[in-house]
Structure 1
Amino acid sequence: MAIQTPRQRLANEKWAKRNEKKVGKPKTKAKDQPSKSPISKPWVIALVFLLIGGGILELVSLLL
């Protein structure tokens, strides 16, 4: 990485402040926040119900 002169450093800080006003501050991720599941709980329950229910119906049809 190239060494910055004090003039370059000031110019970079000035540009970063202007850019931050224009774009907004970056959002920081909280490390202690648990990751959110991509599928909601009701959908998981519905899928499990369908899979288990289908399996039970298949077993009943095989036995009868």
Structure 2
Amino acid sequence: MAQTPQQRAANARFARREEAKMGKPVTATTKKQDFKSPISKTWIVLLAFVLCGGVIFEILRMFF
């Protein structure tokens, strides 16, 4: 036996009420979060310079 339009509308209303009682599904509440580094780019560049700068200066000193 097929549903009548009135039954279909009543079922849709009931489903909306029950969904509101349960809360939102997990997929609707989770957002894609952008990765944020705990260290700023300035500190990363400074650290790279400190680590690699000595090697670069030694190579330049050998040729000049």
TM-score band by shorter chain is 0.3 to 0.5
TM-score by length of 1: 0.46
Larger helix fraction of residues: 2
User: Which structure: larger Rg?
Assistant: 2
TM-score by length of 2: 0.46
